[in-house]
Amino acid sequence: MFKVYVLYTGGTIGSAGTPLAPVSGPDFQALAGSMPGLADGRVTGQPVSYRMDWFERTLDSSDMGPPDWFAIAGRLLEHYADYDGFVVLHGTDTMGYTASALSFLLPGLSKPVIVTGSQVPLSVTPNDALANLTGAILLAGTQAIPECCVYFDSRLMRGNRAVKVSTNQFAAFASPNLPNLATVGIGVTVNRALVRPAPDPSVSLSVPANLQALRARLAEQARAAEGFSVVLLTLYPGIRPGTVEAMLAGTQPPVAGVVIQAYGAGNGPSGADFLEVLSRADARGIVLMDNTQALTGAVDSGAYATGLARAGTVGAQDMTPAASFAKLVALFSRGLAPEEVKRLMGTDLAGELTVPVDPLLL
């Protein structure tokens, strides 16, 4: 019998009332246990059992931030040795951020961690909640996928590649720059060529010493993350240098990193005043990520004269803005120097970006 740990954090899947608000953990556990296929802590007809857990305070994901990411990661590590897979129930609004963060906060992951939720609460009929919950538990228990993923509408996506694309369709998430890892229908189809390999024993969390070391480090990272901030800067026609300066200078806690949501292949205003604001931030040690507002494709910030590479930005390649944001938080919380953070932001750590192929090697 495979064992799955399910952590309910809140979100639409467990919401009720008008306006909707997340119910308590015990109430959601009772509701889930009354659903077809999930009675008695088992998935009917499958060799999978599950245990429901929760935080004392349930949240809409719009209220969640980095401290919650560390809390979720810590709770998963607390139970890591006792289960074959993990499911995190979460609101959809910031699900991509949390799934991305977990992929960076849990290096050495050797078991599935699947983040899911729903567009319609489990208490309402019809809903997408039951299928998402059941499918996520089934995948977490039976599939050897050592990654943090998002499962929605029968599709399993790499978590740091997932983007919310709809507010009113059951297919709420997509993975624009990477095919799905698996689909669930009559059976389960896994794209094994895309699934990341099991970690080396030197870092694998299946090794007790590694697990214990990461638990201690995460506690330190959570404290360190309180001392800095990461901001999102969306470019728009007519953006003023003074507006950007106000976001990056003199804030408390100080800004350590910026995810710039630029145009197209990483373009932005080419005025000297605008670029000077970014260059001064770079000189102060603020890491500037050059992401694109486009849903698909990659950044090439040196391709056009309006590219932002001249200001010291790091091209995000095909990372999502959420992945860039979460990765900056994870790296700076480790106490790394800006130059090392810059290097690692351009390095594939958890499948979050596609490493360009050197044409000379083809």
Q: Which of 130, 121, 247, 224 is nearest to 184 (CA)?
A: 130
Shared domain check, 238 and 262: yes
CATH number assigned to the domain comprising residue 21: 3.40.50.1170
The answer to whether residue 322 is domain-embedded is: yes
Domain stop point among 162, 193, 218: 218
- Structural domain of residue 261, as residue ranges? 228-361
pLDDT tens-digit series, residues 202-224: 999 999 999 999 999 999 999 99
Shared domain check, 234 and 95: no
Shared domain check, 112 and 23: yes
Considering the chain, what percentage of its residues have pLDDT values greater than 90? 94
Shared domain check, 196 and 319: no
Q: Are 128 and 117 in contact (CB under 8 A)?
A: no
Maximum C-alpha span of the chain: 65
pLDDT tens-digit series, residues 49-102: 999 999 999 989 999 999 999 999 999 999 999 999 999 999 999 999 999 999
Strands 48-59, 85-89: pairing is unpaired
The set of catalytic residues is: 12
d(CA 81, CA 60) in angstroms, rounded, equals 29
Shared domain check, 211 and 127: yes
Write the DSSP assignment of 147-212 as a string of letters. Answer: SEEEEETTEEEEGGG-EE--SSSS--EE-TTS--SEEESSSEEE-TTTSPPPPPTTT-TTSHHHHH
| 232-255 average pLDDT score | 95
The answer to whether residue 223 is domain-embedded is: no
Phi, psi of 218 (to 5 degrees): -65, -40
pLDDT tens-digit series, residues 264-287: 999 999 999 999 999 999 999 999
Distances (CA, A) of 83 to 141, 152, 227: 9, 22, 34
- b/e burial code for range 155-167 (CB count within 10 A of at least 16 → b): bbbbbbbbbbeee
d(CA 154, CA 135) in angstroms, rounded, equals 7
Shared domain check, 10 and 120: yes
Q: Which two tokens stand for residue 194?
A: 């895309």
Domain stop point among 218, 245, 279: 218
Domain stop point among 199, 218, 237: 218
CATH number assigned to the domain comprising residue 303: 3.40.50.40
Distances (CA, A) of 68 to 5, 59, 61, 162: 18, 10, 10, 19
Give Cα 131 to chain centroid, integer Å: 21
Domains held by the chain: number: 2
The answer to whether residue 151 is domain-embedded is: yes
Shared domain check, 244 and 205: no
The answer to whether residue 279 is domain-embedded is: yes
pLDDT over threshold 90, residue 306: no
Shared domain check, 106 and 55: yes
The answer to whether residue 141 is domain-embedded is: yes
